[in-house]
Amino acid sequence: MTPFSETRLRVRYAETDQMGVVYYANYLVWMEVGRVDLCKACGFSYRDMENDDGVLLAVAEAQCRYRAPAHFDDEVIVKTWIAEANKRMVTFAYEMRLADSETVLATGITRHLFVNRKMERTRMPDKYRPLFGVDAGRDE
């Protein structure tokens, strides 16, 4: 089973635009919140991976498809899971929906490269491979 997390958040007034709907860039912020929570659900801290292992996840691609608007004070659920992973990169997938109606607000993906502190491409450390669903024998 693919691990996933569900993060609940409430739309703040500052996240809305002049039309009273959530400004589009905030969905990318919510994806990041979901990604950090997914790492915790998988058994590790994103911060510890950076600090202790010197491995960072550099965003190589981000996509978001907007389907319905969210408004101030709506409760939103951000579902996050790993869509694809190998020793060089990981793709996270997201679904954002209203908590009270299950209306899908947006879907998206972010693709990340594993890099070191010098921003040079590196491989995922072995200890994270089972957590990301990567076979230790595969060397992609």
Q: Where are the domains of the chain?
A: 4-132
Q: Which residues of 113-125 are buried (b: 16+ CB within 10 A; e: fewer)?
A: bbbeeeeeebbbe
Confidence at 89, pLDDT banded by 50, 70, 90: very high
- pLDDT tens, position by position, 99-139: 999 899 999 999 999 999 999 999 999 999 988 888 765 55
Mean pLDDT over 85-108 rounds to: 96
DSSP letter string over the chain? ---EEEEEEE--GGGB-TTSBB-TTHHHHHHHHHHHHHHHHTTS-HHHHHHHH--EEEEEEEEEEE-S--BTT-EEEEEEEEEEE-SSEEEEEEEEEETTT--EEEEEEEEEEEE-TTS-B----GGGHHHHT--TT---
pLDDT at residue number 132: 87
Backbone angles phi, psi at 65, to 5 degrees: -110, 120
- pLDDT tens, position by position, 34-46: 999 999 998 889 9
How confident is the prediction for the chain on average, in pLDDT? Answer: 93
Residue 17 appears among annotated catalytic residues: yes
Any idea which fold 4-132 has? Thiol Ester Dehydrase; Chain A (3.10.129)
